[in-house]
C-alpha cells in the first residue's frame, strides 16, 4: 500500500455575511478552495464585506482543518473495511468577525448567558478576546452551516445593540469653541457664580415663577366647590340653634407658599452637570463607531469633503454670536439641557449649509443611524446637562431648577467667535488641552480670500 501523504482538497461556496437584512449580490459569492498537504495544517481564507452597499463592514475568515495523513487514512480504511463501515474525515470551520470592543458585552450577555445559548443551540464554540484592545470574536464549529447560523445570530444581536440606547454614541462631529480663551474664562465665571450660591440667588429661584405647581391645588378646590350641600348647626346663646348653609359661603383658594430651597442640591444643581469649559463646542452630528474600521471610514469621509465644506462657506471666514440661555426640553423649573443660543453673524446660513454637507456625506457613507439621519439640525452651545451628572444623585427622570439661572443669565451676551475647524471627536477621551480627542479635522476659512 502506498504510504505517501495524500493531498486533500475541499471546495466550499462561501456567502458573505451582512449585519443588515439586505439582499446579497450573487456576484459577490466566492468559491473558496482549501488545500491541506500536511497533517494538522490550517489554511485560512480571508473575505471582507466592506464593499457591500448598505452593510456594516465585517471581516470573515474561514479555517478548514484537515488532519488526515496517508498512513492514518490507510489504517482507518482497513479498519472500516473490516468493520463494514465507511471512511470519515473530521473538519473544523471557523469565522473571525470584527465586532468592536464596545459590542462584546451584548454578545456575551448577562453572566455569559447569550453566548452560552448560541453555543448550545448552534453546536459551536465562541471565543471572545480577553483584551479590550482586540475587536474580533471567533466562531468554531464542525460544519459551515452551524458556523454561519451562529454568525447570523450574532449579527442580529449587533444590529439590535447598535440601534438601542444601551450602546452609547462613541464619536461626534464638533465645532470647537474652547479654542477661544476669553470664552473659556466666561464659562468658568458662569459656573463659579452659580456654585458659590448666595441667599439672594435662592430667593430669585422661588420668586421667578410663583404659579409653578399650583394647578393641582386649583383642581382640588374646584372639585370641593362642586360637592353636595353642607349644613352646619351652630349653638348660640339662649339655647337657640342656628343653621348655616355653607354652600352660600364663597370659597377662596390660596396658592401654597413656595418654600425657599436651602442648598444647590435642592435645585438639582451640582458641578458635574456643567459642561467642561475646555470642551465647549457645537455639535453637528452624533455617531456610533464601534470598531476601528468604522472610525477609519469616518476619518476618510471627513477629509474627503474638505473642499465641499469650503465651497459651502463661500471660502470666507464665519463667526457666530452666542446670546442668552434657553432650555432644550422641558421647562426652566425642570430643565434637562440648558444652552446658549447660536446666531450666525451676517445671517447668510453659510454655517448650516456647511453642516448639511457634512451630514449628507456621513449618511451616504452608511455611518449614521437611520433615526439620527432624520433629525433636523439645531445648533446650540450646551452649558448644563443632566445626563452628565455623576454620583448617587442621578435619577431616571433627572432635571434641575434653572429659573434662578435664567433670571440672572437669560440675556447674557457671550460674544462673537470665529469657527476655525470641524473635528471628528471621540467622546469620553480628552487631549492634553482638555478638548475631546481629535480623530480627524478639516479647516474652515480664517482669512479673507485674496484675488
Average pLDDT of every residue of the chain = 77
Residue 200 has pLDDT above 90, yes or no: no
Q: Looking at the predicted structure, is the pLDDT value of residue 256 above 60? A: no
More confident residue, 396 or 228: 396
Q: Give the dihedral of Cα atoms 294, 297, 301, 304; nearest 10 deg.
A: 160
Least confident of 78-82, 132-136, 252-256: 78-82
At 44 the pLDDT is: 42
> Comparing 90-99, 349-358, 416-425, which segment has the lowest mean pLDDT?
90-99
3-state secondary structure of 391: coil
pLDDT digits (tens, 9 = 90+) for 17-35: 333 333 334 433 344 333 3
By the 8 A CB rule, do 89 and 76 touch? no
Report field, pTM of the whole predicted structure over 0.75: no
Q: How distant, in Å, are the alpha carbons of 61, 77, 293 from that of 122?
A: 18, 31, 28
Give one DSSP letter per residue of 169-201, joined into a string: --EEEEEE-TT-HHHHHHHHHHHHHHHS--HHH
pLDDT at 272: 94
**Nearest CA to 55 among 89, 21, 95?**
21
Residue 127's SS3 state is strand
C-alpha cell at 362: 456621513
- Measuring CA to CA, which residue among 257, 364, 252 is closest to residue 308? 364
**Statement: residue 259 has pLDDT above 70:** no
Residue 345 has pLDDT above 50, yes or no: yes
Q: C-alpha grid cell for residue 124?
A: 459551536
- Of 66, 65, 47, residue with least CA distance to 57: 47
230 backbone dihedrals φ, ψ, rounded to 5°: -125, 130
Report whether pLDDT(422) > 60: yes
Report the first-to-last Cα separation within the chain, whole angstroms. 88
What per-residue confidence (pLDDT) applies to 411? 95
Q: Which residues of 28-40 are buried (b: 16+ CB within 10 A; e: fewer)?
A: eeeebebebeeee
> Parallel, antiparallel, or unpaired for β 41-48 and 30-36?
unpaired
Give the percent of the chain with pLDDT over 90.
56
**In contact, 170 and 426? CB cutoff 8 Å:** yes
pLDDT of 178: 98
d(CA 92, CA 45): 14
**Are the C-beta atoms of 89 and 77 separated by less than 8 Å?**
no
The answer to whether 3 and 70 are in contact (CB under 8 A) is yes
Going by C-beta distance under 8 Å and a sequence separation of 6 or more, which residues neighbour residue 415? Answer: 182, 183, 186, 321, 322
Average pLDDT value for residue range 330-344: 95
For helices 292-304 and 350-364, give the axis angle rounded to 10 degrees.
140
Distance of CA 442 to the CA centre of its chain: 23
Contact between 304 and 361 under an 8 Å Cβ cutoff? The reply is yes
pLDDT in tens, 306-331: 999 999 999 999 999 999 999 987 89
What gap in Å lies between CA 70 and CA 67, rounded to an integer?
10
pLDDT band at residue 414 under the 50/70/90 scheme: very high
Q: Is the pLDDT of residue 90 over 90?
A: no
Amino acid at each position: 500500500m502506498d504510504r505517501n501523504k495524500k493531498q486533500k482538497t475541499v471546495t466550499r461556496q462561501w456567502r458573505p455575511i451582512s449585519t443588515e437584512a439586505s439582499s446579497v449580490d450573487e456576484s459577490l459569492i466566492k468559491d473558496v478552495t482549501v488545500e491541506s498537504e500536511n497533517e494538522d495544517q490550517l489554511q485560512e481564507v480571508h473575505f471582507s464585506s466592506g464593499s457591500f452597499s448598505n452593510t456594516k463592514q465585517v471581516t470573515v475568515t474561514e479555517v478548514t482543518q484537515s488532519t488526515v495523513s496517508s498512513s492514518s487514512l490507510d489504517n482507518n480504511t482497513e479498519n472500516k473495511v473490516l468493520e463494514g463501515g465507511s471512511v470519515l474525515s473530521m473538519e473544523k470551520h471557523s469565522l473571525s468577525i470584527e465586532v468592536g470592543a464596545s459590542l462584546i458585552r451584548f454578545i456575551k450577555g448577562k453572566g455569559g448567558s447569550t453566548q452560552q445559548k448560541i453555543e448550545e443551540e448552534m453546536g459551536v464554540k465562541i471565543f471572545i478576546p480577553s483584551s479590550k484592545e482586540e475587536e474580533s470574536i471567533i466562531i468554531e464549529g464542525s460544519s459551515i452551516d452551524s458556523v454561519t447560523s451562529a454568525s447570523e445570530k450574532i449579527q442580529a444581536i449587533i444590529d439590535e445593540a447598535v440601534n438601542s440606547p444601551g450602546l452609547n454614541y462613541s464619536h461626534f462631529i464638533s465645532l470647537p469653541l474652547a479654542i477661544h480663551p476669553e470664552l473659556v474664562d466666561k464659562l468658568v465665571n458662569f459656573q463659579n457664580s452659580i456654585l458659590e450660591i448666595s441667599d439672594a440667588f435662592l430667593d430669585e429661584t422661588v420668586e421667578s415663577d410663583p404659579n409653578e405647581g399650583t394647578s393641582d391645588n386649583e383642581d382640588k378646590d374646584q372639585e370641593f366647590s362642586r360637592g353636595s350641600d353642607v349644613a352646619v348647626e351652630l349653638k348660640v346663646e339662649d339655647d337657640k340653634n342656628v343653621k348655616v348653609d355653607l354652600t352660600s359661603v364663597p370659597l377662596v383658594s390660596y396658592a401654597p407658599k413656595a418654600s425657599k430651597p436651602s442648598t444647590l442640591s435642592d435645585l438639582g444643581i451640582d458641578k458635574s452637570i456643567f459642561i467642561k469649559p475646555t470642551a465647549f463646542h457645537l455639535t453637528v452630528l452624533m455617531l456610533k463607531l464601534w470598531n476601528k474600521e468604522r472610525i477609519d471610514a469616518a476619518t476618510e469621509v471627513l477629509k474627503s469633503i474638505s473642499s465641499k465644506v469650503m465651497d459651502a462657506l463661500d471660502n470666507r471666514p464665519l463667526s457666530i454670536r452666542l446670546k442668552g440661555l434657553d432650555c432644550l426640553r422641558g421647562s426652566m423649573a425642570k430643565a434637562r439641557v440648558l444652552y446658549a443660543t447660536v446666531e450666525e453673524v451676517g445671517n447668510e446660513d453659510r454655517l448650516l449649509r456647511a453642516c448639511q454637507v457634512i451630514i449628507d456625506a456621513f449618511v451616504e457613507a452608511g455611518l449614521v443611524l437611520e433615526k439620527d439621519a432624520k433629525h433636523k439640525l439645531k445648533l446650540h452651545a450646551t452649558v448644563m446637562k443632566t445626563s452628565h451628572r455623576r454620583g448617587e444623585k442621578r435619577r431616571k427622570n433627572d432635571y434641575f431648577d434653572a429659573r434662578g439661572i435664567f433670571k440672572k443669565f437669560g440675556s447674557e451676551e457671550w460674544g462673537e467667535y470665529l469657527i476655525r475647524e470641524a473635528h471628528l471627536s471621540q467622546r469620553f477621551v480628552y487631549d492634553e488641552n482638555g478638548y475631546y480627542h481629535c480623530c480627524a479635522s478639516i479647516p474652515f476659512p480664517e482669512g479673507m480670500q485674496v484675488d
